[in-house]
Structure formats: structure tokens, C-alpha cells
Amino acid sequence: MTKFYKSLLTLLLALCTTVANAYDFKVDNIYYNITDAENKTVEVTKGAERYNYYGDVVIPGYVTYEGTTYKVTRIGSMAFCYDKYMESITIGKEIRSVSKNAFSSSCENLTKVHISDLSAWCQIDFEDASSNPLGANSRGCWLYLNGEVLVDLVIPEDITEIKNSTFDGYYGLQSVTLHDKITSIGQSAFQSCTSLKNIQLPNGLKSIGREAFSGCGLTSVEIPSSVTEIGVQAFWANNKLTTVTSNIIAANLFNCYGWPQQTDEMTLIVPAGSKSVYATTEGWNNIANIEEMEYDHTVNVSDAGYATLYLGCAAEIPNGVEVYTANAVEGNLLKMQPVEGTIPANTGVIVKATKGSYNFHCLTTDVPAIAKSMFKGSIVNKNVSVPSGATAFVLSKVNGEVGMYPAQLTDNAFLNNANKAYLMLGGKDLGVYDDEELDTSVGGSQLSLRFDFGGTTAIEKLPTEVAAESVIFDLSGRKVEQVTVPGIYLINNKKVYIK
């Protein structure tokens, strides 16, 4: 050995000795550092020797030294690293964090981890996989709750998130029950839980962290519609995973890189009408086989009594609901055509009902298209450009009147929300309805289109104040002193149907 390497080795040994002796006191063969003298908290740390802990190690919730009682809140970095003679460890319920490399694969004889409070365990901040004792032994380590081995995990009701690495490396875990209050599953939370074959994700779940279920034994997984984020490799190395069911509608879809490498052998099942969106969204489109499933789409009708709807699938019309499309414009009347039974896919409609929520059952079967349907729409949020000379109309209620009103434009475009319908009239770029060009700046007010369901008119009679102050013409341009015959008239240069 050269002189240089001898000097380097001497330096490293000196540093290790310095680190090893960095503890404040020792009680019952446990070494501690004071982390906050004022609040009286300590961490468990490494002792003076290479191997400091043997047999069954118990970390208490509190420890008393020289007349002062301290709360044991943390396990420090390297605390049990290389302690290959430790066989079991009891984690006190006051522990709130465990530092990196607190445990390592060198703890080769550690086979049991004891806890008395599952909620307390779930609240521990594990810095990474090397801080969790469950993965310290490459041959596997068992988790005991109040003396009973834990294989069927039921997360307590007071826990709303599964933190990073909470059960990382626990090969004995066979099932997990997650309640609907849980909103996130952290990075590596269940990584390498090789005995975990099934997991039912809760309906309120929003995020699944990076590598959350990587290396498990999952054969299928269902993603709730509430999920907005799936981390990279979240389900990586689940080599038996064959079916993924996603309830995320097309409007809420996001890029996802969480799947195993064998995606050509997997099937992705998605809501009816959304296959084309999944097939073009990064990560999801790596799964070769995409199938659609039936599902219910909820439409909320306000006290105005109307809503618009546009789905990428055919949908059954629920009881208590009337559905219409439009096939013509006469003056300021939109001539409505009833839709019976089932709405064809990619068809914009008006929903008419009392205030409430209504479920439209989406089908995977095809329904013949309606011959002339003027409404357009989108299944995702979309900025719709309005061609020169055209007017876009959206459902609105203005001054107590429900109808189709000109959309508010930004840079000649408007945002159409997912699964909503709109109307586009005029504009040579459209190629359709060119004869329906409308002037939306009539008499200083904007034109609205009212619904004509057959026999229903825009105005039952001419209000007294309008008749007294307005100039009325018929469509031939003749001035009308008093309206006696129902029809379309120009009032202050605005087309109005008077019954």
C-alpha cells in the first residue's frame, strides 16, 4: 500500500470514529442526540462502536437523562446502519421522522418491526427507502401491530395521505384497504410490496406518487376519476399487470408515464367516447390495446332549467329530461327538434329539465346520427376559433331570459368547456349555414336566439312600455303602429317573434 493510500485510510477511519462518537447521552443501551433543548426532543443516533445494537431494540416514546425527560421524535442518519446483530426493533409512537440511511441492507438479521399505533406509523416522514426498517433486510422483514403480524392493512380513518416510503419494502403485505378520505399516495409508498396482488384505490384519490406501487405483484388496477396525477414509474415492474381500468374522462386526462415496460401485453379500459383522446395522450398511448366501457356522465341543470351537452359516446336519456337539437333559425328563434331515447355520439344538444343532477348512461354501441344538427361541441376543454363573419352562441341567461347568446371572444376565440355544446352561425369558412348570417349588433344590443320547441314563442305579447317607446316594422320594411297578427317583427332594428 502506498504512503498516500495509508494516509487516506487513516483519515477516513478518524472521520468514522468522530461520527460514531457524536452522541449526547446513552440510556438503556440506546444512544441519543439532543435536537431541541428548549422543547426537550431527542433523536436516536449511532453509538461509539461499529456494531452498537444487538438483539431486540426498543425505542421508547420518552427518555429521562439526568433528571430531564425528553420526547424521542426522530431516528437520525446512519443510526442503525451496519448493525447486523439487531434482530427486532420497536418504534415508539412519538417518532415523527427517520433520516436517510438510518437502516440499510447491512441489517441482515433484522426480521421484525414492532409498532403499537398504526396512525403514528403512517405519520412518520421517511426520508427515503434506506430510512424504513421494513426494507432493511433483503430477505424480508415483518411488521407487527400490537404483537400481531400485519398482512391485511386497513388505513385508519384519521389518515388522509400515505406518505413517502411508508410501507416501502414490506414483502409480507397482502392486501390494503384505503378509505375515501385519502387524497394522495406518496413516492415509493408501497414499492416492492411483492405479495400485494390487488389494490382498490379510493374515489377521492388525487395523486399517485413516483414509484408508489413499483415492484408489487399487481395483476390489475382501477384508476378513480378523481385522480389528476400519476408519477413516473408508479406501477413499474408489476410484471403480471394485464388490465388497467381508467375512470378519468377525456376532459381531465393528463400525460402519464407510470406503467410497466410490457405495455404491449396490457389492456386499457376507458370511458365510452374517450378512446381517441387516450390513444393520443402521452404515456397512456403506450398501452397497445384500448377498449371502451359504459359509464354515467352527470349533467347539472341549474334553476334556469337548461344545460348543453356534447359527448363522444351515445348516451341514454334519463327519466325527467327532455333533449333537443336545433335544425333551423327563423329570425331570432332557434327551431328545436326533440331527441328521443338515445343521443348519438358527437351530437350537441340542449337538455331541458327541472333543477338537479341527471345521469346520462354512455354506451359503447353506435346510434345513427341525426340528419341535421346545428349544435357543435367538444369532449375536452377547447379554445374554439370563430371565423371571420361568423358568430358563436353559447347558452346563457341574461336579464332573466334563457337563450343562446354571442360568446365572449378573446383574440377571435372562446373557451368551450368539456362536454358542452355551442352554436356557430354564418362565416364563409364554415361551409354550412352560410345563409344564416346574423348581425349581432342590432339597435345597440346583442342578438339572442330563443328556443322554439314548437308552439312556444319568444314573446307572448308586446310589453306596453316597448310598444309605447319603440318603432316597429314588419319584414317588408313597413311601419307597424300596432301588432295584431303574430309573426316576426323588427323592433328597434332587432328581430322579435310576437305571438
Contact 113, 166 (CB under 8 A): no
* Predicted local distance difference test score (pLDDT) of residue 475: 54
Residue-wise over 140-164: b if at least 16 C-beta within 10 A, else e? ebbbeeeeeebeebebeeebebbbb
Nearest alpha-carbon partner for 169 in 233, 103, 226:
103
Alpha-carbon torsion angle 437, 440, 443, 447, nearest 10: 100
* Predicted local distance difference test score (pLDDT) of residue 167: 97
Residues whose CB is less than 8 angstroms from the CB of residue 151 and which lie 6 or more positions away in sequence, other chains included: 172, 173, 174, 175, 195
Rounded CA separation 451/329 (Å) = 10
Strands (E), 407-499: 413-416, 420-425, 441-442, 445-446, 450-452, 472-474, 479-480, 487-491, 494-498
Stated pTM of the model: 0.77
Give me the mean pLDDT over the 149-172 stretch. Answer: 96
Q: Are strands 86-90 and 112-115 parallel, antiparallel or unpaired?
A: parallel
Tally: H helices and E strands in the chain: 4, 43
* Predicted local distance difference test score (pLDDT) of residue 487: 67
- The top-scoring range by mean pLDDT among 8-12, 41-45, 399-403, 466-470 is 41-45
Least confident range of 20-24, 146-150, 248-252, 492-496 = 492-496
Residue-wise over 421-445: b if at least 16 C-beta within 10 A, else e? bbbbbbbeebeebeebebeeebeee
Contact 425, 448 (CB under 8 A): no
| pLDDT of 17 above 60 | no
Which bin fits 73, alpha (ψ -120 to 50), beta or left (φ > 0)?
alpha
Residues whose CB is less than 8 angstroms from the CB of residue 268 and which lie 6 or more positions away in sequence, other chains included: 244, 245, 246, 278, 284, 287, 289, 290, 291
The number of beta carbons lying within 10 Å of the beta carbon of residue 61 is 15
* Predicted local distance difference test score (pLDDT) of residue 431: 37
| pLDDT of 32 above 70 | yes
Q: DSSP character for 130? A: G
| pLDDT of 250 above 60 | yes
Q: Which three cell numbers stand for residue 187?
A: 413516492
pLDDT in tens, 91-105: 999 999 999 999 876
| pLDDT of 495 above 90 | no
* Predicted local distance difference test score (pLDDT) of residue 478: 61
Q: What is the DSSP string of 108-127?
A: TT--EEEES-HHHHHT-EE-
| pLDDT of 332 above 90 | no
| pLDDT of 338 above 60 | yes
pLDDT in tens, 61-88: 999 999 999 999 999 999 998 888 999 9
Rounded CA separation 349/337 (Å) = 10
The number of beta carbons lying within 10 Å of the beta carbon of residue 363 is 20
Single-letter code of the amino acid located at 446: Q
pLDDT in tens, 401-414: 899 999 999 999 99
Give me the mean pLDDT over the 396-424 stretch. Answer: 93
| pLDDT of 453 above 50 | yes
Rounded CA separation 486/474 (Å) = 11
Q: Which three cell numbers stand for residue 98?
A: 427517520
Rounded CA separation 285/240 (Å) = 19
Residues in the chain: 499
Rounded CA separation 160/157 (Å) = 8
pLDDT in tens, 180-232: 999 999 999 999 999 999 999 999 999 999 999 999 999 999 999 999 999 99
* Predicted local distance difference test score (pLDDT) of residue 5: 38
* Predicted local distance difference test score (pLDDT) of residue 290: 96
* Predicted local distance difference test score (pLDDT) of residue 48: 82
Q: Which three cell numbers stand for residue 270?
A: 376507458
* Predicted local distance difference test score (pLDDT) of residue 371: 87
Which tops the pLDDT comparison, 64 or 497?
64
Rounded CA separation 378/457 (Å) = 29
Contact 392, 406 (CB under 8 A): yes
* Predicted local distance difference test score (pLDDT) of residue 107: 84
Rounded CA separation 350/346 (Å) = 13
Rounded CA separation 323/348 (Å) = 10
Give me the mean pLDDT over the 234-238 stretch. Answer: 95
Rounded CA separation 278/285 (Å) = 6
Q: DSSP character for 286? A: G
Give me the mean pLDDT over the 229-250 stretch. Answer: 95
* Predicted local distance difference test score (pLDDT) of residue 333: 87
* Predicted local distance difference test score (pLDDT) of residue 410: 95
Rounded CA separation 166/113 (Å) = 13
Q: Which three cell numbers stand for residue 284?
A: 397512456
Single-letter code of the amino acid located at 322: E
* Predicted local distance difference test score (pLDDT) of residue 276: 93
- Mean pLDDT taken over the chain: 86
Q: What are phi and psi of 464, to 5 degrees?
A: -60, -45
